[in-house]
Amino acid sequence: MCSLIDGAAPPLRSGGIDLPILNPTTEEVITRLREADAAEVDAAVTSARRAFDSGPWPHLDINVRKDILYAIRDRIRAHAAELAWLECTGAGLPLQRVLDQVQRAARSFEFFAEVASTLHGDTYTQTKGWLTYVTREPKGVAALIAPWNAPLALASMRIATCIPWGNTCVLKPSEHTPLSVRRLVEILHEAGLPPGVVNLVNGRGSVTGAALVDHPGIDLVGFTGGTATGRAIMTAAARRLVPVALELGGKSANIVCESADLERALDGSLVGIFANNGQQCLAGSRIFVQRSIAREFIERFVARTQRIRVGDPLEPVTEIGPLAFEGHMQRVLAYTKVAQEDGARLLTGGRRAAIERGWFVEPTAVLAPSNEARVCQEEIFGPFATFVEFDTLDQAIAMANHSKFGLASYVWSNDLDTAMRCSREIRAGTVWVNTPMMRELRAPFGGYKESGIGRDGPAASVEFFTEQKATIIPLDPPPMHRFGA
């Protein structure tokens, strides 16, 4: 499996590196990934540059561009089962979850096509005798870098927010989970996207990713991934003075108050931490429960956790599949010991699941002595819930904010003042009240603090992916100083 440049596979070079791509359910090699080196990255950026500087894409009538984006939506829907199968096989995500993500990917292309088709400028006529108008233009060639935890959902979101304005791009998905994204980029071309608008390069971050971000032909960088990588990418981008948008890690607080509908809070807290195999930036991984209800709530949470169906992600009944790759499974498992060293009590799980093959981890819950414990401060990124008890809302909000992250937060309460206070005082990009992780495409999504810079969403995407240009015209040519006259 290789890159896709100008809509086609590049010529196979001798001496390249092939990375094995493994199925996390069976641990078997599915295919080999030919890593794009600096020369191949250069070919991809050159293609995107050509498509932007002299290709039709940025200059197409918006209705033509919109028709192509709608055709992409339709073709993704037509290939939903195939894309979902690839995602389950390559990333281990449960089928039902992935089918939803494929539908959302299709919807994203439709939605941002609509936004682009209603984009308009401003006119200023207040200054007598002058007309000034402001137009928006696409910004150029974007490097888009995506992670492995929801490969299709996150790569498609990056592309769908980038190309409708007329930009072109080079996409680099994670080297761990390239399957579904490779097929997605083929589908974009089958739907009529001109060659060069979306190029795909595959390979490790340190090789292919670094070459892409450093390439002089790149005008902007959109990155979704870990905070440490985001920092490295921003440093590289700063050397070339190109803008970056960063969607990074999280350690979101999930506050369960005694005033909550506890049935819904229980369901929502389980979804908040265990959906997507626990591998999600917006997971409600720090569960703060009010002491008056803590014992019963935690007991019920543990009982439900022990009944979660862990297994083959292609089985429709499966709720949690394997973690995406072996190294990640080992990292998640290591947190059982970390928790215990910090004085946390293991409530359930904490081991590799008793399944013959595959990188399965038992859904895990621990009760930490305080929010200072490492399991409260570090992103574990697996099916690993950490409980801490609290007495007052002041304490819960203080703990929620005592984190280097600020991506999302959850509050469960039927008391309006409590909900509104959490909304006002929690330093996070999203506050979900009495619901887990509803994504509204129209609203901005992104993080405070080390959870990111910039937002996804229509307004933020217009800001990031377009340039503003002011054109100034005198209506009654005013007198002008005549040098040397």
Q: Does 281 help bind ligand NAD (rule: CB under 6 A)?
A: yes
Q: Which residue is catalytic, options 35, 247, 319, 389?
A: 247
Across-strand partners of 40? none
Which positions from 345 through 404 interact with ligand NAD, judged by CB under 6 A?
A: 379, 381
- 115: CB partners within 8 A, 6+ apart: 164, 458, 461, 462
Which stretch, 107-115, 208-216, 340-348, 366-374, contacts ligand NAD (CB under 6 A)? 208-216
Q: List the one residue from 45, 113, 115, 248 that touches ligand NAD (CB under 6 A).
A: 248
Nearest CB to ligand NAD, comparing residues 174 and 403: 174
Largest distance between two CA atoms of the chain: 91
Active site residue 2: no
Report the C-alpha gap between 472 and 129 in whole angstroms. 11
Which pairing describes strands 122-124 and 130-138: parallel, antiparallel, or unpaired? antiparallel
Which positions from 116 through 155 interact with ligand NAD, judged by CB under 6 A?
A: 145-149, 154
Nearest CB to ligand NAD, comparing residues 210 and 302: 210
Site string for ligand NAD, 449-468 (x = CB under 6 A): ---x----------------
φ and ψ of 438, to 5 deg: -80, 125
Site string for ligand NAD, 405-424 (x = CB under 6 A): --x-----------------
Active site residue 247: yes
Nearest CB to ligand NAD, comparing residues 198 and 233: 233
Report the C-alpha gap between 409 and 438 in whole angstroms. 12
φ and ψ of 29, to 5 deg: -75, 125
Structure tokens at 227: 């905070």
Tell me the three-class secondary structure of 113-137, residue by residue.
HHHHHCCCCEEECCCCCEEEEEEEE
Which positions from 165 through 204 interact with ligand NAD, judged by CB under 6 A?
A: 172-175, 204
Q: How far is the CB of 91 from ligand NAD (least distance, A)?
A: 11
- Say if residues 456 and 161 touch (Cβ distance below 8 Å): yes
Report the C-alpha gap between 172 and 3 in whole angstroms. 9
Length of the chain (residues): 485
Q: List the one residue from 226, 300, 340, 463 that touches ligand NAD (CB under 6 A).
A: 226
Residues of this chain that bind ligand NAD (CB under 6 A): 145-149, 154, 172-175, 204-206, 209-210, 213, 224-226, 229, 232-233, 247-250, 281, 379, 381, 407, 447, 452
Which residues participate in catalysis according to the annotation?
Answer: 247, 281
